[in-house]
Chain A
Amino acid sequence: MNTVWPALPLPQILRDVLAQRSGRIGMAIVCLHLAVALAAPVITPQDSAYQDASAMLQSPSFSHWFGTDRLGRDVFSRTLLGGREAMLIATAATFIAMAWGSALGILVALIGGRTDAIVMRFIDAMMSIPWILLVMLFVAALGSSSAALVPVLGFSYGLSAVYLARAAALDFVARDFVVAAQIRGHARWAIAVTELLPNVRDSLAVQGAMQWSWILLAVSSLSFLGMGVAPPTPDWGQMIADARGIMQRAPWALICPMLALSSLVIGVNLAVDALARVTGVERTRRVLGA
């Protein structure tokens, strides 16, 4: 196994990330969100689906910390629970996207030539359709259950992973140690796994963490449009869509899920910024096809 610059061991990376200010703040926010999401079913003070007709649109109080929404549901409980489904979908979809995307990207970088050109032209064409329409195309055919969203988002977001993994791997395919492995007669998949993967690991980790936040935003956006997480499961995007009509009378029902979603995404961004700096990876922003 060869790596060009010594890949840092994981505990070392974590320590370096935490040594940076943005890393500390970002990790703190993300860990808080994860802890709340895990503990939410136990710590929510009220049933998130319980509609109290006598307590609609109440402003924040001791019995309802974040007030109530237009159906008299407790906004605090719903905000605590509202990220769980989206985070679960994002995690599963990120694994699928990174798995097929990086495998294909590394392989075409290694094979090169006509195969590379044809595959990338297809990926290019699919990335020309804005992600949301690509996803909507599949949602229209498959319906919008969480079970359908995972493969659909995993496929759509894998496209940009192909790009990144290919670009990262291309830096190494012409190096001596890869050529040496080819001369030794190693199989392509073996070269990809033992020679290239360790070298692109850091790029993939940074990309994977960004993908997670993009997919989380995608799920929330779809929920906002009514194609994502379906009621009665509470979800931030869905809560924001639901509270739009009452923003004048009950702004808390709108602001709370907004703060929750935005803080999580900002936290991930800060943590990834630190990770990118520590590992020396140029980080991609949410521009291309994302």
Chain B
Amino acid sequence: MATVLLERIGLALITMIIIVVVVFFALELMPGDACSVNLGRGASDSMLAACQKRLGLDQPAVWRFAAWAGDFLTGDLGISMQRDRPIAEVVGWRLRNTLILAGLTAAIGIPLALGLGVLAGLNPDGPLDMTISGIAIFAMTVPEFISGTLMILLFSVILGWAAGVVTIGYKAPALDLLKASVLPAATLIFILAAHILRMVRASVIEVMQSDFVQMARLKGVPHRRIILHHVLPNALLPAISIIGLTMAWLLGGVVIVESVFNFPGLGRLAVDAVADQDLPLVQAIALLFGFIYVLTNLGADLLALTLNPRLRTRRK
């Protein structure tokens, strides 16, 4: 158990180190640097040189990488070019807002998906399953920006239940943000739940056909008991690692959905940063998203390990 734990944590650390290396050197390989991109073609040589000196771009790449990675570890994310403020300051509030949105999505979406997946899987190809699965496949096929826009069209323009676009600032109190998160979270839940419930459904169908469920049925164990004690624990365990992987989608989906709803989070900041050609800021956000992904997956992995003893032995 201890070796498996250490191995998982070690792998996560190595992955994070590689992410830092990739994010830094991917841009080193590109023509131009943060200064030439930001200042554009009209920049004079002296302006470029001054900017490069300010950001330390006149130093060799390896030296800069060490400084940049070191700063990052101590929480100093560098300076945003366009906004001329420390990136940590620009990112902080928006990170909180995105976490509120993602948290709300996960808190409602995951239990909803587990419930619907089990319902669909217990009666495969029944009318309930056909409805649930049909909607889920639609949600998985249509891109996020179309689902989000349809949500605005339906709930805001046609029904008038909620404001379609978020108008509050990024420093608004958490409670206001929670209220503003309703439609963006609904969009994310719609898609996230679709992915998870399809996998839970498949998992339930598989367990229902397994020998031990057949055995319990032949022994005369009541149906309710079979479902609650035999099927659910075995079908839901694999779902934990799937939820970790789905976080990758959620983090990417957040970028688009935040832009659709004008939600003041990290994803929209990334879009703005690209429009402003603010390379250091884009780099910092990509790093943060990568780290969040690795850590969530590590969390899901460790949770699965504690709940499922079968995973603890090393397979070779």
Chain A partners chain B:
yes
- Nearest residue, chain A, Cβ from B37: A141
Please provide the chain B residues from 4 to 52 with a CB less than 8 Å away from any CB of chain A in the complex. 11, 14-16, 18-19, 22-23, 26-27, 30-32, 37
Contact A244-B293, Cβ < 8 Å, known A125-B19, A129-B23: no
Q: Does any Cβ of A come within 8 Å of B246's Cβ?
A: yes
How many Å from the CB of A26 to the closest CB on chain B?
12
Contact in complex: A128, B255 (CB < 8 Å): no
**Contact residues in A for B31 (Cβ distance below 8 Å):** 142
Q: Does any Cβ of A come within 8 Å of B274's Cβ?
A: yes
How many Å from the CB of B243 to the closest CB on chain A?
11
Question: Chain B's interface: helix, strand, loop or mixed, by majority?
Answer: helix
The number of inter-chain residue pairs (CB within 8 angstroms) is 141
Contact A129-B293, Cβ < 8 Å, known A140-B277, A141-B30, A227-B274: yes
Contact in complex: A130, B149 (CB < 8 Å): no
Please provide the chain A residues from 246 to 263 with a CB less than 8 Å away from any CB of chain B in the complex. 247-248, 251, 254, 258, 261-262
Contact in complex: B285, A258 (CB < 8 Å): no
Contact in complex: B140, A286 (CB < 8 Å): yes
- Nearest residue, chain A, Cβ from B254: A130
How many Å from the CB of B280 to the closest CB on chain A?
10
Q: Does any Cβ of B come within 8 Å of A289's Cβ?
A: yes
Bound Cα distance from A286 to B145, whole angstroms:
16
Question: Chain A's interface: helix, strand, loop or mixed, by majority?
Answer: helix
**Contact residues in B for A220 (Cβ distance below 8 Å):** 143, 145
Binary flags per residue of A120-141, CB closer than 8 Å to B gives 1, else 0: 0110111111111110111111
Q: Does any Cβ of A come within 8 Å of B205's Cβ?
A: no
- Nearest residue, chain A, Cβ from B251: A130
Q: Does any Cβ of B come within 8 Å of A266's Cβ?
A: yes
**Contact residues in A for B145 (Cβ distance below 8 Å):** 220-221, 224-225, 237, 240-241
Binary flags per residue of A253-290, CB closer than 8 Å to B gives 1, else 0: 01000100110011001000000000000000111111
Q: Does any Cβ of B come within 8 Å of A198's Cβ?
A: no
Q: Does any Cβ of A come within 8 Å of B259's Cβ?
A: yes
Bound Cα distance from A269 to B136, whole angstroms:
14
Q: Does any Cβ of B come within 8 Å of A60's Cβ?
A: no
Contact A140-B141, Cβ < 8 Å, known A125-B15, A134-B286, A225-B256: no
Contact in complex: A137, B142 (CB < 8 Å): no
Contact A130-B245, Cβ < 8 Å, known A254-B149, A262-B141, A285-B198: no
**Contact residues in A for B106 (Cβ distance below 8 Å):** none
- Nearest residue, chain B, Cβ from A237: B145
Q: Does any Cβ of A come within 8 Å of B91's Cβ?
A: no
How many Å from the CB of B19 to the closest CB on chain A?
5
Contact in complex: A128, B246 (CB < 8 Å): no
How many Å from the CB of B48 to the closest CB on chain A?
16
Contact A140-B37, Cβ < 8 Å, known A128-B19, A220-B143, A237-B145: yes
Bound Cα distance from A221 to B251, whole angstroms:
15
**Contact residues in B for A45 (Cβ distance below 8 Å):** none
Contact A133-B255, Cβ < 8 Å, known A141-B279, A247-B157: yes
Task: Please list the 5 inter-chain residue pairs (A to B) with the smallest Cβ-Cβ separation, ordered nearest first.
Answer: A130-B252, A125-B18, A141-B30, A129-B290, A133-B286
Q: List 8 A-B contacts (CB under 8 A).
A: A122-B22, A128-B294, A130-B251, A132-B256, A133-B282, A141-B30, A141-B279, A142-B30
